[in-house]
Amino acid sequence: MGKVNDVLQRFRGMPEGGTIVKDDAYKAGIAFSMQVPAERLREVAAVLNEMECYLESMAALDFQDTFEIVYHFNCFEPRSRFALRVLCGHDEAVPTVSDIFKTAMWQEREVHEFFGIRFADNPDLRPLLLPEDTDEHPLRKTFGKVNAYRRREEIYG
Amino acid sequence: MGNEVGSEWIRLIVGAVIALAFASLNALFLVWLERKVAGHIQLRPGPKEVGPFGLLQTIADALKLVGKELITPSAADKKLFVIAPVLIFMPVLVGFLVLPFAPELIIRDMNLGVLLIFAFSTFSVLAILAGGWSSNNKYALLGAIRSVAQNVAYEIPLLLTVMSVVLMVNSLRFSEIVQAQGHIWFIFLQPVAGLIYLISATAETNRAPFDIPEAESELVAGFHTEYSGMRFGLFFLAEYTNMFIVSAVATSLFFGGWHGPFGFDMKIPGIVWFMLKTYFLIFVIMWVRWTFPRIRFDQLMNFSWKFMIPVSLANLLVTAVVLKFI
Amino acid sequence: MSYWKEVINGGWSLVEGMRVTFRRLYRPVVTVQYPRQKVELSPAYRGHIEFVKFKETGTHKCVACGQCQRMCPSNLIKVQGIKERAKGRKVGTQYFIDFTRCSLCGLCVEVCPTKTLKFSREYELEGVSRWDGVIDLMARLGETRP
Amino acid sequence: MAEQFLEPVVENVYTLNLGPQHPSTHGVLRVVLDLDGEFIVRTDPVIGYGHRGHEKMGENRLYKQFMPNTSRMDYLSGMLYNHGYVLAVEKLAGIEVPERAKYIRVICSELNRISSHLLWFGTYVMDLGGFTPFLYAFDDREQILDILDRVSGSRLTYSYCRFGGVCQDLDSVFIDMTRAFLKRLRSRWSDYENLVTKNIIFIHRTRDVGVISLEQARQFGVTGPNLRACGVAFDMRRAEPYEVYDRLDFEIPVGTKGDALDRYYVRMIEMEQSCRIIEQALDQLPGGAFLNPKVPDRLRPPKGDLYFGFESARGQTGYYIVSDGSTMPYRLHVRVPSFGNLHVLVEAFQGTLLADAISTMGSVDLVIPEIDR
């Protein structure tokens, strides 16, 4: 639990520290989550790299009003997962963290092909899992069979 | 005089025909044996459906291979591609001409027999290189290059160990070498040479754990990746015939040829002893194949140049010195 | 010196390995020669689904409620039923599954309110076209009737 | 060994397509290698040949209907994936699970972990050219499949766990079979050791081959035995104990160098530890119900998101589920361990021989359909 508290302390001092949602019971599988504006993402990621966390997973969500990318970080200690949430509009680009965390290179490729989210300055955005010539974004809620297309506050509201 | 020359020719031609027939049947039998040995080592029965104990399985497979289309890749060097399988199979047949199966069962007892066999076995490198290069496939080329490097490296310790045996007999004639082992086999006098010979021979025939030219998990099938049908079959036949020849040579050089152990022949004809020992050695080679992982290419070369060659050289030296002072 | 030690130890490790394989050489085989020998099916074996034949009625109890059809992840169940009397219960009359798409999860069996579905114990299902994978459960029930 | 040769020259490289159909790329992986002689200059794995869109499927299915999909992602540890998914949804929806069911799941999961590691052991040695250990491992694995077949009715893609329990109870035959199997497996360790672990050729093929440093492992998100081989005792079963793992006594093996041999050792010891877990769980197995009957068919978990991480055979796996309060997930993302384990090869392959690359690729235990999803 030590390192994740250090990270938490570090984040509290940041301008977006107010958006931290702590989850001491670990109910959602994370110790805390923090919303980061897209332009500050690289800065935060650099801090995390310095503190020897690793990028565990990167999941994007498609809402009517916005995209959301959830970065799950972890450091090799018990119960120390935490999430960064980055909102980006449907035609905005998110800065890449692929030069900070190498695994993000492929994770971003995957998010890019499935959602069409652009990652600024990522040198290699070829589709990863889909065919090379594909121009559809299958996990968008505008593609194929869709159960529900909601606004973000309907879920997190 | 003319009559004698004629009979010599007849002997040669009949021998060649018999050798060809024997080589093919023997290879088929060895493939069956390999599959059976592998099967039982791996707790499964191996081929058992076609014929008694599955003996006819390989014949069925051979028929299938004959019936298959011969595919020549469009970008291949066509002439070389066709020649390579033939080139690999012909020299191994030559080996049968000088092998001493029994005192009176040598097709041509040349005074250069040992040299002839090793000279011709070097030919297979050429064929493998031709096959691998002409296929115009990267895997095949890699396999061919590996094969050449490997064969060059392993021929030296092979020949050095043979040299130490030749030194002891002062002859390159197979019959004389075997004759000299009437009472004590050379494996007991030359254990290091015998072991090195067996290891090098395994490498020379591209058998596991030295099968890097056709390393399945790396190079798919190595130099014969692009071959199909009977052309592939010829590579296959050559491999098994080669295995028989190196085992037979080992038998005559180190394991007393047609002699029984320590001069006890037990009224068993020489050919039976010879075959028993040869097939036992083949079995050992198979057993090794189905036990060990494959050595990496550079380790293989290191093993040859840094270990086998110095040791076999030292062995040769010791042999020469001891013989000089006896 | 340590070099020679490694050579000897290494050589010995190879001999030990060969001992392991040699011991297996004369052990009985463990494989089952399929068409001649067959293994016993596990009691929980999941084949494709089929109807349970109830003793008291001599037939199935499908009421064509369609729960299995809705629960199936692959949408491969097609069930139809009719009401025999105006206000009576529905009775299943047609039940088809496309077994080629079945993933044998067993959700249909669990969801069935009348417990009239079960897993069959058939595993030798071969066919010449993909239509052979479509199984008519009603017809099967008729065939197996004694 | 490799550094004894000349420095690779950057010109005169040629491209070799390793796969998608190649004997040692387990599944359909294509690795585009730029080779200089036999030295690898650049690696570019091309994946996605087995993409089935499980995440999209998950958005259009009931929570329960997604269950068969889970075992098809990583077909070698289907029970573990199944288990993890069920746990994630239970946590999201707040479903009570009977004690007995928890133990049953742990037993079956650990059996599945052993079977997955055994298969890895076999295929890895096969990658190195030894065919026979592969079949010995299959012989042992077959026993596990029989055991799991007995209780779940399937041999590979189990769909055994249910929300609130499992679909069938264990019987005494299962317990006897499992105990007999553990005894048998332990008697086999010495054979494996003599045949492979101590084998000089094997040691030379794996020692100092494919070294993944801790820094690389962190950067690429490498988890599981591959991470533990670097010396970090990080195991989800310990770090975030789920089910009854906090009540069981087991060790987390770690390596030191992070080479292929360490990864091999870690997995071999892990199998033994799994045996211990199963034994303890069998001893502690309580009676009672094996399934919570009150779970509705159409679950409606409360709104919100949840990340659930667990340890599959290949490493840390996670389900990220976002629920909008309806019967189907709004988003279902799966974090797969092979993703990072494959990506790190881009760096681990650099400058190695082709033969070493095969050895490295085998040692990280890739299952490609898991990455492709």
Quick: pLDDT tens for C25-37. Answer: 888 888 888 888 8
Contact between B292 and D201 using a beta-carbon 8 Å cutoff: yes
B296 vs D contacts (CB less than 8 Å): 1, 204-205, 353, 355-356, 359
Q: What's the gap in Å between the CA of D302 and the closest CA on chain A?
A: 9
Contact between B45 and C27 using a beta-carbon 8 Å cutoff: no
Residue in B with minimal Cα distance to C25: B41
D183 pLDDT above the threshold of 80: yes
Q: Which of C20, C43, C46 sits opposite D194 (nearest CB)?
A: C20
Q: What's the gap in Å between the CA of B253 and the closest CA on chain D?
A: 28
Confidence of residue D240 (pLDDT cuts 50, 70, 90): confident
Q: Which chains touch C (3 or more CB pairs under 8 A)?
A: B, D
Contact between B293 and D38 using a beta-carbon 8 Å cutoff: no
Q: Percentages helix, strand, coil for chain D, rounded to the nearest 5?
A: 50, 15, 35
Confidence of residue A1 (pLDDT cuts 50, 70, 90): low
The verdict on pTM exceeding 0.90 is no
Residue in B with minimal Cα distance to C22: B41
The pLDDT, as a whole number, for residue D27 is: 75
Residues of C with CB under 8 A from a CB of B: 7, 14, 17-18, 20-22, 24-31, 33
Give the residue-averaged pLDDT of A127-153.
83
Chain C CB within 8 Å of residue D150 CB? yes
The pLDDT, as a whole number, for residue B5 is: 61
In the beta sheet, which residues pair with residue D310? Answer: D317
Contact between C18 and B287 using a beta-carbon 8 Å cutoff: yes
D347 vs A contacts (CB less than 8 Å): 102
Tens place of pLDDT for every residue, chain B, 326 residues? 445 666 777 877 887 788 788 888 888 888 888 888 888 888 888 888 887 888 888 888 888 888 888 888 888 888 888 888 888 877 877 778 788 877 776 767 778 878 888 888 888 888 888 888 888 888 888 888 888 888 888 888 888 888 888 888 888 888 888 877 777 787 777 888 888 888 888 888 888 788 877 777 777 777 788 888 888 888 888 888 888 888 888 888 888 777 777 767 677 777 888 888 888 889 888 888 888 888 888 888 888 888 888 888 888 888 888 887 87
Do B210 and B300 touch, CB atoms closer than 8 A? Answer: yes
Q: Maximum Cα–Cα distance for chain B, whole Å?
A: 64
Contact between D129 and B298 using a beta-carbon 8 Å cutoff: no
Chain C CB within 8 Å of residue B299 CB? no
Q: What's the gap in Å between the CA of A56 and the closest CA on chain D?
A: 6
- ipTM of this predicted structure: 0.85
Q: For a pLDDT cut of 70, what percent of chain A falls above it? A: 97
A74 vs D contacts (CB less than 8 Å): 309
D339 vs A contacts (CB less than 8 Å): 103, 106-107
Cβ neighbours of A157 (radius 10 Å): 8
Burial annotation A66-80 (CB, 10 A radius, 16+ → b, else e): ebbbbbbbbbbebeb
The pLDDT, as a whole number, for residue D12 is: 77
Q: Which of D51, D303, D339 sits opposite A130 (nearest CB)?
A: D51
C144 pLDDT above the threshold of 70: no
Token digits for C41?
Answer: 């099916």
In the beta sheet, which residues pair with residue D14? Answer: D35
DSSP symbol at D144 = H
Give the residue-averaged pLDDT of A51-59.
86
Q: Which of B44, B211, B295 sits opposite D201 (nearest CB)?
A: B295
Where is pLDDT greater, at B258 or A55? A55
The pLDDT, as a whole number, for residue C69 is: 86
* Element housing D306 (H / E): strand D304-312
The pLDDT, as a whole number, for residue C145 is: 46
D240 vs A contacts (CB less than 8 Å): 26, 29, 78-79, 81
Nearest to A98 by CA among A142, A62, A128, A66: A128
Please, what are the domains in chain D?
61-320 (1.10.645.10)
Contact between B42 and D136 using a beta-carbon 8 Å cutoff: yes
C21 vs D contacts (CB less than 8 Å): 132, 195
D248 pLDDT above the threshold of 80: yes
Spatial distance between the Cα atoms of B296 and B211, rounded to a whole number of angstroms: 10
Q: Which of D48, D218, D219 sits opposite A128 (nearest CB)?
A: D48
B214 vs D contacts (CB less than 8 Å): none
Where is pLDDT greater, at C81 or B109? C81
Chain C CB within 8 Å of residue D143 CB? no
Do D39 and D353 touch, CB atoms closer than 8 A? Answer: yes
Alpha helices (runs of H) in chain D, residue ranges in sequence order: 54-59, 67-73, 78-93, 99-127, 132-152, 172-192, 200-206, 214-220, 225-228, 236-239, 260-284, 337-343, 345-348, 354-363, 368-372
D201 vs C contacts (CB less than 8 Å): 14
Chain C CB within 8 Å of residue D135 CB? no
The pLDDT, as a whole number, for residue C146 is: 41
Please, what are the domains in chain A?
2-156 (3.30.460.80)
A5 pLDDT above the threshold of 80: no
Contact between C30 and B45 using a beta-carbon 8 Å cutoff: no
Confidence of residue D1 (pLDDT cuts 50, 70, 90): very low
Q: Do chains B and D touch (3 or more CB pairs under 8 A)?
A: yes
The pLDDT, as a whole number, for residue B204 is: 81
The mean predicted confidence, pLDDT, of chain C is 82
Chain A CB within 8 Å of residue D62 CB? no
The pLDDT, as a whole number, for residue D29 is: 85
Give the residue-averaged pLDDT of C116-126.
83
Give the residue-averaged pLDDT of D319-340.
88
Q: What's the gap in Å between the CA of C43 and the closest CA on chain B?
A: 27
The pLDDT, as a whole number, for residue A26 is: 76
Q: Do chains C and B touch (3 or more CB pairs under 8 A)?
A: yes
B290 vs C contacts (CB less than 8 Å): 21
Spatial distance between the Cα atoms of D230 and D252, rounded to a whole number of angstroms: 13
Token digits for D367?
Answer: 């299952």
Give CA torsion, residues A108, A109, A110, A113, to 10 deg. 120
Please, what are the domains in chain C?
49-143 (3.30.70.3270)
Do A34 and A83 touch, CB atoms closer than 8 A? Answer: yes
Spatial distance between the Cα atoms of B252 and B117, rounded to a whole number of angstroms: 13
Nearest to B315 by CA among B125, B145, B164, B174: B164
The pLDDT, as a whole number, for residue D11 is: 67
D312 vs A contacts (CB less than 8 Å): none
A124 vs D contacts (CB less than 8 Å): none
Query: For D64-105, what is each residue's pLDDT tens digit?
Result: 888 888 888 888 888 889 888 998 888 888 888 888 888 888
- Residue partners of B26: CB distance under 8 A and separation at least 6: B240, B241, B244
Do D103 and D285 touch, CB atoms closer than 8 A? Answer: yes
A46 pLDDT above the threshold of 80: yes
Alpha helices (runs of H) in chain B, residue ranges in sequence order: 2-41, 57-67, 78-98, 113-121, 123-134, 138-169, 174-179, 186-189, 191-204, 216-219, 229-254, 270-289, 297-302, 309-325
